[in-house]
Structure 1
């Protein structure tokens, strides 16, 4: 499970990929697996949900 400090350090590219995968309607487990292949991360399904909210929040601010 990611801490708040780790969440703040997540690369922007990872968030963009996560949001794109979410738009496809893919479940958290599949998204976590795809992100682990592309980035050096080990995410849980709960982490994916947290990151999705963080990514959506960042998009609204931009």
Structure 2
């Protein structure tokens, strides 16, 4: 709309903002689910390697 020199109405702006919020929320939830699954997996292992868990938590943090 802006490229065509049109001003978006309030409904369009709110819908766009909510869409972005849902995408960010989904990124956070996905990263936390990955971290939870990795933690459960690592708890069953003898040799613990926390790099994947750390990466998942960093992804959740950056999405926040």
Q: TM-score, normalised by structure 1?
A: 0.31
Structure 1 or 2, whichever has the larger Rg, is: 2
TM-score by length of structure 2 reads 0.30
